[in-house]
């Protein structure tokens, strides 16, 4: 583990409040002000401000990123939606049509994607597979019994996953299927109530770090807890506070998506999806949420900066000449790699990235333990996604947690990335196709949320 973990510098600062006016009667706050009055200026502990993020994302990054995600390489995601919940058995499956996921037929997925399980070209895939197999078999003493040899290989597999932050699906399982993300968009499905609340409650209560002296719920959805947000955060070190803000930011981003693609009309003739201002206000309005909503939005920006930083760090991996976004269509693959590198260079140019030097920089033994706790907590959250009763929500929950987990893996691997060979397979650091697809689609979801916030600002301002 290296010290290159600057990503977690989160949320410093100055909460921007409306001025009191010193005796003058101020006009009533508009709906837009109640949602966004605190979501401006500098983010806490960051040198970056919200306005810079908005301009960079909405006008320089978002259009190109959406084009990339519409390409074949990124639209097909292999996932096992039939894995049992590892924590409880009483899952109520959502029976609504909008909760269903339509998997791809075999002939709908490009052959190059089905045949290439790694991240290089077909030739490089074959080479790396042969090398890895020879390396692993060579490492096992053939004088050992067959049972012991299998155990050693299992240990190797465990070591390979020791830097992963997610409980990844076994994509070789018969239950794993390709899903076209463009045909199964993330939007409001009607999945809510006790079952949905239970998922988030377990995530916040059992997997976010909590001061031993704090007994009350950490779940911001719990009744009467809105004003305790910073009071219990003050009892945590900055890394653990950042962990909570990551989860809160992901939660906020998902809620923005559901509010922006809400089922507004459902008749036998058509379904109409669009922005539901009331739903957005219920989740983010400063008054309706007792001050919690704007903080959730600030955590969304915090999450954006973390994943942005990870993408800036992983550029050398994708710049290597033998890396391809391999689908079998050579011309499109080359064009998409060029677009990918343009996006990553644009991200690299962002002027207000995190300072990299202040996290996990204390006692070496304690820092290592904190990193491992961080990894295991997030890994557990990825397993909870198999308990979501709505299959479309489960699909996007698994993809976004895997994407964030991949970003964390990148930020923990700065030195490994720096030491990669200029060409040929990288054994010290590599990303599978699943990790690449989830990384960019997860960031695409957050980028979309930031763009949708601009849309909601305009809609809220127009109703007054």
383 annotated binding-site participant: no
First to last CA, the chain: 53
Average pLDDT on 150-159 reads 44
Q: What is the DSSP string of 95-112?
A: -SGGG---BPPGGGS-HH
Is the pLDDT at 56 greater than 90, yes or no?
yes
423 annotated binding-site participant: no
Is the pLDDT at 142 greater than 80, yes or no?
no
pTM of the model: 0.81
Among residues 46, 208, 387, 390, the one annotated as catalytic is 390
d(CA 209, CA 233): 9
Average pLDDT on 393-421 reads 90
- Where in the chain are the domains? 31-113+177-211+225-462
pLDDT digits (tens, 9 = 90+) for 352-369: 776 555 565 556 676 677
The continuous run of DSSP H or E covering 271 comes out as strand 271-274
d(CA 217, CA 228): 9
Catalytic annotation present for 390: yes
261 annotated binding-site participant: no
pLDDT grade, residue 347 (50/70/90)?
very high
Is the pLDDT at 151 greater than 80, yes or no?
no
Higher pLDDT, residue 326 or 137: 326
232 annotated binding-site participant: no
Higher pLDDT, residue 359 or 124: 359
- On the 0-12 / 13-18 / 19+ scale of CB atoms within 10 A, 310 is buried
Higher pLDDT, residue 177 or 50: 177
Higher pLDDT, residue 285 or 2: 285
Is the pLDDT at 15 greater than 70, yes or no?
no
55 annotated binding-site participant: no
Is the pLDDT at 229 greater than 90, yes or no?
no
List the beta strands (DSSP E) in 1-125: 76-79
437: Cβ contacts below 8 Å, ≥ 6 apart:
73, 74, 76, 77
pLDDT grade, residue 203 (50/70/90)?
confident
458: Cβ contacts below 8 Å, ≥ 6 apart:
none
pLDDT grade, residue 376 (50/70/90)?
confident
Strands 76-79 and 262-266: unpaired
Average pLDDT on 128-151 reads 45
Q: Which residues pair with residue 180 across a beta bridge?
A: 76
d(CA 65, CA 74): 11
Is the pLDDT at 278 greater than 90, yes or no?
yes
Q: What is the DSSP string of 380-434?
A: HHHHHGGG-SSHHHHHHHHHHHHHHHHHHHHHT-HHHHHT--SSS--SSS---HH
Lowest mean pLDDT among 6-10, 45-49, 177-181: 6-10
Is the pLDDT at 78 greater than 90, yes or no?
yes
Q: What is the pLDDT of residue 194?
A: 80
Q: What is the pLDDT of residue 26?
A: 45
d(CA 119, CA 326): 7
pLDDT grade, residue 134 (50/70/90)?
very low
pLDDT digits (tens, 9 = 90+) for 414-460: 888 888 887 776 777 889 999 999 999 999 999 999 999 999 999 99
Average pLDDT on 111-135 reads 55
Report the chain's mean pLDDT, rounded to a whole number.
77
Distances (CA, A) of 274 to 20, 258, 266, 310, 313: 36, 9, 12, 31, 35
Higher pLDDT, residue 66 or 17: 66
Q: What is the pLDDT of residue 454?
A: 94
Quickly count: other Cβ atoms within 10 Å of residue 449's Cβ.
Answer: 25
Please choose, from the candidates 309, 404, 256, the residue with its C-alpha nearest in 3D space to the C-alpha of residue 53.
309
Is the pLDDT at 86 greater than 60, yes or no?
yes
Which SS3 state, helix, strand or coil, does residue 76 take? Answer: strand
**Helix 391-411 × helix 238-260 angle, to 10°:** 140
Is the pLDDT at 464 greater than 70, yes or no?
no
Query: Does residue 344 come out as left (phi exceeding 0), alpha (psi in the -120 to 50 range) or beta?
Result: alpha
Quickly count: other Cβ atoms within 10 Å of residue 134's Cβ.
Answer: 10
- On the 0-12 / 13-18 / 19+ scale of CB atoms within 10 A, 308 is buried
d(CA 100, CA 370): 39
Please choose, from the candidates 395, 442, 323, the residue with its C-alpha nearest in 3D space to the C-alpha of residue 178.
395
pLDDT grade, residue 291 (50/70/90)?
confident
Q: Which residues pair with residue 76 across a beta bridge?
A: 180
What are the φ/ψ torsions at residue 290 (nearest 5 degrees)? 55, 45
What are the φ/ψ torsions at residue 171 (nearest 5 degrees)? -75, -5
22 annotated binding-site participant: no
Q: What share of the chain is helix, strand, coil (3-state, %, to 5)?
A: 55, 5, 40
Q: Which residue has the tokens 């030739």?
A: 123
Q: What is the pLDDT of residue 3?
A: 40
Catalytic annotation present for 393: yes
Angle of CA points 424, 430, 435, to nearest 5°: 135
Average pLDDT on 225-238 reads 55
318: Cβ contacts below 8 Å, ≥ 6 apart:
337, 340, 341, 344
CB-based contact 81:91 (threshold 8 Å): no
Which SS3 state, helix, strand or coil, does residue 171 take? Answer: coil
Which two three-digit tokens encode residue 46? 């960051």
């Amino acid at each position: 583990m290296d010290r290159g973990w600057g990503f977690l510098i989160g949320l410093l600062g100055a909460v921007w409040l409306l001025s009191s006016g010193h005796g003058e009667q101020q006009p009533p706050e508009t709906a837009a002000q109640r949602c966004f009055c605190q979501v401006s200026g500098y983010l806490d502990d960051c040198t970056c401000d919200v306005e810079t993020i908005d301009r960079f994302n909405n006008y320089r990054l978002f259009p190109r990123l959406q084009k990339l995600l519409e390409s074949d390489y990124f639209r097909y995601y292999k996932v096992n939606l039939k894995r049992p919940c590892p924590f409880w058995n009483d899952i109520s499956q959502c029976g609504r049509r909008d909760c269903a996921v339509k998997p791809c037929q075999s002939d709908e997925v490009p052959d190059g994607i089905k045949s290439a399980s790694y991240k290089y070209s077909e030739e490089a895939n074959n080479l790396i597979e042969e090398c890895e197999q020879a390396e692993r078999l060579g490492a096992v003493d053939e004088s050992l019994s067959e049972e012991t040899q299998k155990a050693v290989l299992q240990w190797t597999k465990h070591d390979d996953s020791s830097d992963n932050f997610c409980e990844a699906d076994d994509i070789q399982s018969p239950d794993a299927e390709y899903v076209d993300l463009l045909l199964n968009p993330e939007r409001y499905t009607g999945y809510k109530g006790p079952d949905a609340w239970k998922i988030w409650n377990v995530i916040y209560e059992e997997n976010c770090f909590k001061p031993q002296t704090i007994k009350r719920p950490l779940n911001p959805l719990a009744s009467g807890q809105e004003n305790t947000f910073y009071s219990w955060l003050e009892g945590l070190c900055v890394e653990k506070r950042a962990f909570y803000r990551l989860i809160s930011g992901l939660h906020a981003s998902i809620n923005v998506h559901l509010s922006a693609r809400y089922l507004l009309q459902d008749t036998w003739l058509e379904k109409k999806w669009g922005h539901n201002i009331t739903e957005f206000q219920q989740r983010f309005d400063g008054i309706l949420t007792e001050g919690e909503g704007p903080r959730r939005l600030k955590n969304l920006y915090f999450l954006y900066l973390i994943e942005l930083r990870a993408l800036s760090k992983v550029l050398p991996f994708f710049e290597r000449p033998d890396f391809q976004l391999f689908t079998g269509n050579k011309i499109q693959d080359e064009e998409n790699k060029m677009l990918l590198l343009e996006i990553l260079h644009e991200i690299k140019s962002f002027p207000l990235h995190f300072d990299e030097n202040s996290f996990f920089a204390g006692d070496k033994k304690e820092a290592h333990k904190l990193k491992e706790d961080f990894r295991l907590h997030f890994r557990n959250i990825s397993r909870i996604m198999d308990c979501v009763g709505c299959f479309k929500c489960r699909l996007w929950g698994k993809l976004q947690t895997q994407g964030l987990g991949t970003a964390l893996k990148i930020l923990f691997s700065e030195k490994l990335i720096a030491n990669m060979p200029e060409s040929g397979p990288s054994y010290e650091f590599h990303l599978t196709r699943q990790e690449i697809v989830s990384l960019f689609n997860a960031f695409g979801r957050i980028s979309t949320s930031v763009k949708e916030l601009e849309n909601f600002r305009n809609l809220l301002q127009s109703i007054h």
